[in-house]
Amino acid sequence: MAAAGIRSTAKFDGLDAGGCNDLVAALLTGDGGQILVGGQQRVCSAMLDSSIRDRLPLPFGKSEGFQDAASARHLVKWVLLTPAIWPQIEADPRKAITAHHGGWLPNWIHPESGEVLLKSGDSARARGEGRTEWRQRVRLLSPLSAKLVAAITGKPLTITGWVLPNGTDRSEGGAKSTHLAVPAGAVYYFECDSAECAQALAQALNWHGDSVGTIIKNRRSTLMGEKGFGLGVCGTWQFHGSTTTGHSGT
The pLDDT tens digits of the residues spanning 201-241 come to: 999 999 999 888 888 999 999 999 999 999 999 999 988 76
CA atoms within 13 A on the CB side of 178: 4
Residues 222 and 108 both lie in one domain = yes
Model pLDDT, residue 31:
67
The domain containing residue 131 runs over which residues? Answer: 74-235
pLDDT in the model for residue 225: 93
Is the pLDDT at 244 greater than 50? The verdict is no
122 and 24 in one domain?
A: no
Reported confidence tier of residue 248, pLDDT bands at 50, 70, 90: very low
pLDDT at 246 over 80: no
Position 186 in a domain: yes
Looking at the fold, whether 164 and 213 belong to one and the same domain comes out as: yes
Q: Given a cut of 60, is residue 250 above it in pLDDT?
A: no
Burial 204-225 (b: 16+ CB within 10 A, else e): bbbbbbeeebeebebbbbbbbb
Do 38 and 85 lie in one domain? The reply is no
Considering the domain architecture, whether residues 9 and 122 belong to the same structural domain is answered as no
Tell whether 65 is covered by a domain.
no
**Residues 24, 11: Cα–Cα separation, whole Å:** 14
The overall average pLDDT reported for the chain is: 83
Is residue 149, in this structure, part of any structural domain at all? yes
Q: Are 182 and 229 in contact (CB under 8 A)?
A: no
pLDDT category of residue 4 using cuts at 50, 70 and 90: very low
pLDDT of 159 > 60? The answer is yes
CATH number at residue 131: 2.60.40.4350
Q: Is residue 53 part of a domain?
A: no
* 170 CA to centre of own chain: 29
Closest CA to 115 of 148, 138, 155, 84: 148
pLDDT of residue 35: 85
Which residue, 32, 48, 64, sits at the end of a domain? Answer: 48
Residue 55 lies in a domain: no
22 and 122, same domain (yes or no): no
Asked if residue 183 lies in contact with residue 83, where contact means CB atoms within 8 angstroms, the answer is yes
Q: How many domains does the chain have?
A: 2
Top-confidence residue, 234 or 44: 234
On whether residue 63 sits in a domain, the answer given is no
Backbone φ and ψ for 239, nearest 5 degrees, come out as -75, 150
How confident is the model over 108-131, as a mean pLDDT? 87
Same domain for 39 and 113?
no
Please indicate, yes or no, whether the overall pTM of this predicted structure exceeds 0.85.
Answer: no
What average pLDDT does range 36-47 have in this prediction? Answer: 83
